[in-house]
């Protein structure tokens, strides 16, 4: 049975070292954090521990430095942002388990927080070899001294069998952070006992990334709305030409099967009826709106590249979302980074906010898109901090970082 953070706090943590796996994997522009959502989400647990007098050591990753020290993946900008937002003292180490981390850990005072460098600077963090990961975990645990504890508050990493996520939890008394517990509780209810109608919006570029998720939701969701780049594989499955739009030909047969099975199991799959096409993948392309079954019939011809859902589809999706009681959304329904092709994603966000549904934004690109469009987190029921982790949970996979905690 998983132990929650409150249990650790009730035991007393004053003067005790607590190793916390946080999620500080934020987007950067140079040394500037461009979306601090995950930093803000990490604050409540760190604040509780600091206020209780714990000596907190934070481990986190940023990007994929592939086991090498690479300045562009330094955790320092995220740690700096944490320090700006926090009401507690934040110290940053220049290494992970080396001399600087050891010295700063030893010097920590009650209520202070130390952020060590990117754990993925050490190749053992992500090693497939259990012994190598275990060795690294032992070195992380050594920073906590004789009476350490471990809290996993990084939902965005729980689908990885990594040393700081999985192996450390086997070495110390381990607890679920509030963030992870909330994520698990929300996703479990969404998957197993949603208030209906339960509507899912699936977007993003590749249908192959979401196939297993869609398959697991068929028979569970009342309606699945398909947008984004993945929608063109659905269009091709219906026998329509898609011009230069992104297409995964090897997935067409699987999509055909889903389109056949979904209504048999009580799930309606709704795809675009029109799309915004461009002659170039840019905000300055020449655009035209085309019916989904005749993308190549306009002025752009075979050069047409579907970049967003069209106005009729926006209305259709909004109508399907209007009466929903539970909504799960993962993936923009157009190229949301371009202003001229973000209208579909904005329309979906507007429809969700206008509905009475409990809404779950499935992290990653979806969360970044709604924030970029000017929406605040509190306009949605729950914004997941882990795109990949939430997808794998909805897919029905066992997540190592959750399993090791007994959740």
Output the 3-class SS for 120-153: HHCHHHHCCCHHHHHHHHHHHHHCCCCCCEEEEC
CATH number assigned to the domain covering 5-181: 3.40.50.1260
- Whether residue 165 contacts residue 154, with contact meaning beta carbons closer than 8 Å, is answered with yes
Q: Which of the residues are catalytic? A: 38, 206, 364, 388
CB 278 within 8 A of CB 298: no
- Residue 20 forms beta bridges with which residues? 58, 151
| pLDDT at res. 53 | 98
Q: How confident is the model at residue 226 (pLDDT cuts 50, 70, 90)?
A: very high
Look at residue 404 and tell me whether its pLDDT is greater than 90.
yes
244-265 pLDDT per residue, tens: 999 999 999 999 999 999 999 9
306 known ligand binder: yes
**Residue 5 annotated as part of some ligand binding site:** no
Does position 407 have pLDDT exceeding 80, yes or no? no
Binding residue per annotation — 297? no
Is position 63 annotated in a ligand binding site? yes
216 is in an annotated binding site: no
Residues 124-173: tens digit of each pLDDT: 999 999 999 999 999 999 999 999 999 999 999 999 999 999 999 999 99
Q: Is 400 helix (H, G, I), strand (E, B) or coil?
A: helix
Cα 74 from Cα 70, distance rounded (Å) = 7
Q: How many CB atoms lie within 10 A of CB 253?
A: 9
Alpha-carbon gap, residue 32 to 19, rounded angstroms: 26
Flag whether 196 is marked binding.
no
Packed helices 37-51 and 178-192: angle between N→C axes, nearest 10 degrees: 120
Of 317, 320, 333, whose CA–CA distance to 366 is shortest?
333
Please report the pLDDT score of residue 363 as a whole number.
67
Domain positions in the chain: 5-181, 194-395
Helix ranges (DSSP H) in 52-142? 76-85, 99-107, 130-142
Q: Which CATH number, 1.10.10.10, 3.30.530.20, 3.40.1440.10, 3.40.50.1260, labels domain 194-395? A: 3.40.50.1260
- Tell me if 158 sits within 8 A of 386, measured CB to CB: yes
Residue 267 has pLDDT above 90, yes or no: yes
Distance CA 13, CA 101 (A): 21
Q: Is 145 annotated as a binding residue?
A: no
pTM, full prediction: 0.88
Render pLDDT for 340-362 as a digit per residue (tens, 0 to 9): 999 999 999 999 999 999 999 98
């Amino acid at each position: 049975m998983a132990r929650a953070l409150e249990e650790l706090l009730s035991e007393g943590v004053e003067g005790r070292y607590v190793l916390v796996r946080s999620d500080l994997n934020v987007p950067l522009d140079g040394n500037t954090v461009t979306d601090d959502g995950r930093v803000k989400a990490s604050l409540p647990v760190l604040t509780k521990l600091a206020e209780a007098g714990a000596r907190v050591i934070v481990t986190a990753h940023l990007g994929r430095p592939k086991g090498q020290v690479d300045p562009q993946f330094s955790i320092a900008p995220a740690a700096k942002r944490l320090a700006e937002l926090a009401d507690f003292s934040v110290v940053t180490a220049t290494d992970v388990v080396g001399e600087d981390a050891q010295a700063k850990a030893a010097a920590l005072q009650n209520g202070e927080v130390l952020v060590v460098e990117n754990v993925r600077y050490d190749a053992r963090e992500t090693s497939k070899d259990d012994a190598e990961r275990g060795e690294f975990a032992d070195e992380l645990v050594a920073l906590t001294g004789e009476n350490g504890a471990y809290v996993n508050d990084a939902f965005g990493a729980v689908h990885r069998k990594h040393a700081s996520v999985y192996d450390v939890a086997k070495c110390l008394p381990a607890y679920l952070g509030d963030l992870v517990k909330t994520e698990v509780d929300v996703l479990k209810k969404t998957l197993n006992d949603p208030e209906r109608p339960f509507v899912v919006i699936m977007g993003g570029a590749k249908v192959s990334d979401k196939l297993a998720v869609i398959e697991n939701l068929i028979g569970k969701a009342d309606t699945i709305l398909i947008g984004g780049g993945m929608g063109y594989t659905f269009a091709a499955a219906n026998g329509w030409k898609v011009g230069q739009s992104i297409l995964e030909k090897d997935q067409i047969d699987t999509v055909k099967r889903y389109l056949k099975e979904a209504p048999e199991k009580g799930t309606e799959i709704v795809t675009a009826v029109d799309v915004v096409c461009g002659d170039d993948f840019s905000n300055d392309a020449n655009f035209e709106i085309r019916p989904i079954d005749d993308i190549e019939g306009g002025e752009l011809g075979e050069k047409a590249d579907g970049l967003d859902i069209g106005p009729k589809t926006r209305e259709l999706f909004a109508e399907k979302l209007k009466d929903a009681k539970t909504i799960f959304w993962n993936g923009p329904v157009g190229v949301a980074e371009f202003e001229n092709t973000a209208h579909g994603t904005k329309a979906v966000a507007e429809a969700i906010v206008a509905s009475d549904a409990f809404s779950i934004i499935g992290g990653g690109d979806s969360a970044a898109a709604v924030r970029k469009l000017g929406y605040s987190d509190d306009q949605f029921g729950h914004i997941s901090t882990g795109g990949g982790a939430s997808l794998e949970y909805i897919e029905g996979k066992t997540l190592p970082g959750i399993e090791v905690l007994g959740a």
